[in-house]
Structure 1
Amino acid sequence: MTVSDDASGWREYPPLELHPLLALALDEIVEHGYDGTSVRKIANRAGVTVPALYYHFENKQAMLRELLDHAMRIVLTHARAALDEAGADCTARLSALVEAIVLYTAHHRDLAFLDSERRSLTPENRAHYVAQRDELEGELRDAIRGGVAQGVFRTPHPDECGRAILSMCQGVAGWFRPGGPVDEATMARRYADLALATVQHQKGTGR
């Protein structure tokens, strides 16, 4: 997953590029949940035999892991690019991170929804996914801690703020609909403002 060479390329989220069987598995899991989805249902939806599906993916668990890996590759790539553009200013870094996460969640709602299915991963696969998710939360936490150290954020609970902001951003997947009264870019900027309010950003000392 790459972003545009343009300075604001991290704000661009092109359509998903998934293996056709993964795309169908994603549809099934979103509609019926992981436990309600079977390899046979995915194969029937694809018009292939179960052995043909197993040729590409070992089992349903492997498909969920690959979908979650794809999700994290997208959001982490964009988050890193957003941080590169933001530079050292903690207010800009927090705002850019939140924009990147909300844009990802709004543009790829079904993929973002899969975070709720991490409980269905095997212990090994869950540890793999959580390590990637922790990187994203860690970037939020570091931006907030930095802002507290600089005196631009006044929250006494920086780590809790990081978790709360990430959950807030991921919640967009549950209600946002394209074509509504607010577009993805506007919503992302609003959530950046909400994040700054959460950390008690001191106006006049930053963004």
Structure 2
Amino acid sequence: MNDRFFKLPPEKQRRIINAAYKVFSENCYKKAPMSEIADEGGISKALLFHYFRNKKELYMYLWTNAVETTRKAVREYKTLETDDFFEMLKRSLLSKCSLMREYPYLYSFSLRAYYETIPEIQKSVQENYNDISRASEMTVLEKIDTSKFRKDIDIKTMYTEIFYAIDGYMLKKYRSNRIVPDEIEKEVIALIDFWKKVYTQEM
């Protein structure tokens, strides 16, 4: 990757990144044309290849950028600065929805990237994602105050169930082309409030 990309004005970088997220979210890796990314980003194809040597390099940069940008947003929303599990969920949701507004296709790209079947892409993305998920689960389970939960609840099972529910919800939104941050915020916050009533002693 050419360091000159990072010397571009932030707005131009964002435009190119958003263009790439858009094209890769709408096409599988093999069928995503670099020429379309260049056109969408307002630069020439030659210049795009000047910044990124090939399609794989651009794709993996986008994945890494999605991970790092998400981590930054999670920190900015102080997601882990509470021991209330359901407050964590809300802060995490708000941080991710804020990213969807700045990078409208980031989440769609991330979902498609996880299910990409090209071996050289699939292995790197899924291994990285699984490492992140395990680390995140460990951090959350160590951090939360479990005293408010019902005594018959297995916390790890609850975490897994909620994680898969939100993942399934977002996959459904993606497949129906309904990645609308305001709508997602409203619907998922309602789910979080419901889970809090079900799993805690605050009846």
Which aligned pairs between 1:48-67 and structure 2 lie closer than 5 A? 48-50=44-46, 52-67=47-62
1:152 aligned counterpart, secondary structure:
coil
The Cα RMSD (Å) is 3.6
How far apart in 2 are the matches of 1:96 and 1:108?
18
How far apart in 1 are the matches of 2:14 and 2:99?
19
How far apart in 2 are the matches of 1:101 and 1:142?
22
Equivalent residue letter for 1:152: F
Equivalent residue letter for 2:164: A
Q: 2:180 aligned to 164, 177, 180, which one?
A: 177
Call closer, same or farther: CA 1:91–1:177 in 2, change over 3 Å. Answer: closer
Equivalent residue letter for 1:60: K
Cα pair 1:30 1:110 within 8 Å, conserved: yes
Call closer, same or farther: CA 1:203–1:128 in 2, change over 3 Å. Answer: same
Equivalent residue letter for 1:150: S
Call closer, same or farther: CA 1:152–1:66 in 2, change over 3 Å. Answer: same
Identity in percent: 12
Partner residue, 1:110:
105
Partner residue, 2:167:
167
How far apart in 1 are the matches of 2:90 and 2:16?
36
Q: Deviation at 1:65?
A: 1.7
Equivalent residue letter for 2:124: E
| TM-score, with length taken from structure 2 | 0.65
Equivalent residue letter for 2:66: A
Partner residue, 1:26:
21
Q: Deviation at 1:166?
A: 4.2
Q: Deviation at 1:151?
A: 4.3
Call closer, same or farther: CA 1:166–1:138 in 2, change over 3 Å. Answer: farther
Q: 2:147 aligned to 120, 134, 150, which one?
A: 150
Q: Deviations over 1:158-195 (max 9, x none)?
A: 342243244156345542436xxx65654453243244
| TM-score, with length taken from structure 1 | 0.64
How far apart in 1 are the matches of 2:44 and 2:165?
42
Runs of 5+ in structure 1 lacking a partner? 1-15
Q: Establish whether residue 196 from structure 1 lines up as the match of residue 196 from structure 2.
A: yes
How far apart in 1 are the matches of 2:43 and 2:102?
28
Q: Deviation at 1:129?
A: 4.3
Partner residue, 1:88:
83
How far apart in 1 are the matches of 2:125 and 2:184?
31
Runs of 5+ in structure 2 lacking a partner? 1-10
Q: Deviations over 1:79-134 (max 9, x none)?
A: 2343344x233443344334434554566441011222224325235433443344
